[in-house]
Amino acid sequence: MSPTIPPTVNTPASLAALTLSGGQLNPVFDPTVTSYSTMFIGTSSLTLTPTAPGQTITVNGATVANGSPSAPISLPTGTTTIPITVTSSTGQTKTYTIAAHQLGQEAYTKASNTTGGDLFGFSVAADENTLVIGAPSEDSLTTGVNGDQNNNGAGGSGAVYVFTRTGTTWTQQAYIKASNTGAGDQFGISVALDGDTLAVGAYFEDSTATGIGGNETDNSAPDSGAVYVFTRTGSNWSQQAYIKASNTDTGDQFGRSVALDGDTLAVGAVAEDSNAMGVDGNGADNNASTSGAVYVFTRSGITWIQQAYVKASNTGAGDQFGINVALTGDTLAVGAQMEDGNGTGVNSGDENDNSAINSGAVYVFTRTGSTWTQQAYIKAPNSGAGDEFGRSVALNDETLAIGAYREDSNGIGVNSGAEANDSVTDSGAVYIFTRTGSTWAQQAYIKASNASPNYRLGFAIALKGDTLVAGSSGEDSGSTGVGGDQLNTSATDSGAVYVFTRTGTTWTQQAYVKASNTGAGDQFGVSVALSGDTVVVGASTEDSNGTGVDNGAEADNSAADSGAIYVLR
């Protein structure tokens, strides 16, 4: 009788550990997870050290001994995909991949009709390979899409520019004006983009119309404000809607902020005056000057209607509810940078104790069906008078980022523990909150790595997944590019941007970014946008006289405050 031969047992292939010579893996290494990412600044190469006892390991195609570092892997600007393949003793294989991203500047962009004072880049929005830039002080008299850019007969009317990317090359696709261009309207003060839909705020527009598609030509309600919706078919943009508040009034500044998600649009009217509280109250009683309001609109087909009129739960004169809005799915976040409540944290304290002047607050609302209700009232954990918590808000799924650009602590980095030391005036901070179920809790307190007086971290923020971009428009370093000298304070108000990433619940700073042509007063970081692996930064008071993309005129500062945009990837 032949002896029984035991069956072959296949040994699964798996890494036990994986470490990097620099940076950090996102997510944290887990042998069962095969896809990772990491970000670098100013790093030319990377080595990986894999551990898989008794197995064969290759990194980037080359065999590596167990527990030993690989050969250096070059990291050019952009994303490098690094494969790590493990083969067990019985021939089973498993491949892990790391997307290693080296952040660098991809484009330097100016308006096609650059003129001093236009403030190109005051607002930005990005979605995949499309970029939208607002220039609220542009002066052309034209109306609609791709009109005459050079007739500067309507000072401060404003314009919006659309650029698209093919590969790594950006080109201008459209030059957009309001359908009722008027001097001083500031079209482009705010922009929001989702796919082929664009919303543009003109918060000083003057018509008396209410609702959707009203009379654009009766300019007897100065600075009441308007929002314009444009859509793209192929490469052609056209206006779909002209939107006013349901209670249009002089000076309300409807359109100071906009947010767009699918068929839902949120619009902030930062100087609206009603004393209503909550959702769908009486918008006609103007006894709370500049308290602010937010309006929610929805689209069915090509038709927009107002769904909600939203006020704070503690409406107060001067609070500026709606200075910024963020929208994701059925969740809306609203900043009120001048709110005065003395509470700290989430849903704590007496909302009506107004003893912390201009400390600021953020309100979170959720939608069920078509009904909006307030879910949270959020204050900084170190709330202080004048901090203006809520000047910027960014929302992505269950994570909310809030900027307080006039916060004063002397902390450095993440969770420094220095919240109570108010010795660095207007250095600024960003706060991260996360939601579990319907409960919000703080996850991180973020300061710049070079926090200093008047740097204003958090004036603008953008959030996507586990990445946060924070603008510090008053930062003073004279360095250029990514990862430069943060302590060279030779360019006052040149501005900077900081990139942070999250692993698990831990946030770390990954990049310190300056303009390629840093200049005093340029305010690089006055606006920011984030889409995928692309970071967009506005410097609305940059001074070069160039036009278009990568024009070579970065050093010619003969067009004061014309503005510029920088794309990093």
**CATH, residue 129:** 2.130.10.130
Name the amino acid, one letter, at 212.
I
Residue 540 in domain: no
Would you give the distance in Å from CA 293 to the centre of its chain?
21
Task: Answer yes or no: do 87 and 116 share one domain.
Answer: no
Residue 48 in domain: yes
What DSSP character marks residue 414? Answer: B
Residues of the chain short of pLDDT 70, as ranges, are 1-9, 41-42
Q: Which domain holds residue 500?
A: 105-517
Task: Answer yes or no: do 94 and 146 share one domain.
Answer: no
Residue 569 in domain: no
Task: Answer yes or no: do 369 and 410 share one domain.
Answer: yes
Residue 395 in domain: yes
Q: What is the pLDDT of residue 7?
A: 61
Residue 399 in domain: yes
Residue 9 in domain: no
**430 has which bridge partners?**
403, 446
**What DSSP string runs through 98-157?**
EEEEE--EEEEE--TT--TT--TTSEEEEETTEEEEEETT------SBS--SS---STT-
Cα 373-325-352 angle, rounded to 5 deg? 60
HSE toward the beta carbon, residue 495, CA cutoff 13 A: 31
Task: Answer yes or no: do 248 and 348 share one domain.
Answer: yes
Residue where a domain stops, chosen among 44, 68, 102: 102
Report the domain count for the chain. Answer: 2
Task: Answer yes or no: do 243 and 279 share one domain.
Answer: yes
What DSSP character marks residue 189? Answer: E
Residue 208 in domain: yes
Q: What is the pLDDT of residue 41?
A: 67
Structural contact between residues 231 and 249, judged by C-beta atoms closer than 8 angstroms: no
Q: What is the pLDDT of residue 428?
A: 98
Residue where a domain stops, chosen among 48, 81, 102: 102
Task: Answer yes or no: do 402 and 459 share one domain.
Answer: yes
Coil, strand or helix: which one is 95? strand
What DSSP character marks residue 428? Answer: B
- pTM (two decimals): 0.90
Residue 253 in domain: yes
Task: Answer yes or no: do 304 and 170 share one domain.
Answer: yes
Task: Answer yes or no: do 53 and 134 share one domain.
Answer: no
User: Regarding beta strands 389-396 and 254-261, do their DSSP bridges make them parallel or antiparallel, or are they unpaired?
Assistant: unpaired
Task: Answer yes or no: do 98 and 112 share one domain.
Answer: no
Task: Answer yes or no: do 180 and 54 share one domain.
Answer: no
Structural contact between residues 304 and 298, judged by C-beta atoms closer than 8 angstroms: yes
Residue where a domain stops, chosen among 86, 102, 118: 102
Q: Which of 125, 118, 119 lies closest to 540 in space, CA to CA?
A: 119
Task: Answer yes or no: do 128 and 267 share one domain.
Answer: yes
66 vs 55: CA distance, rounded Å: 8
Query: For position 96, which CATH number holds?
Result: 2.60.40
Q: What is the pLDDT of residue 567?
A: 97
Q: Which of 539, 534, 407, 361 lies closest to 462 in space, CA to CA?
A: 534
527-555 pLDDT, tens digit per residue, is 999 998 899 999 999 999 999 999 888 99
513 vs 496: CA distance, rounded Å: 6
CB-CB neighbours of 367 under 10 Å: 18
Task: Answer yes or no: do 156 and 233 share one domain.
Answer: yes
Place of tokens 């197995």: 55
Burial class (CB in 10 A: 0-12, 13-18, 19+), 50: buried
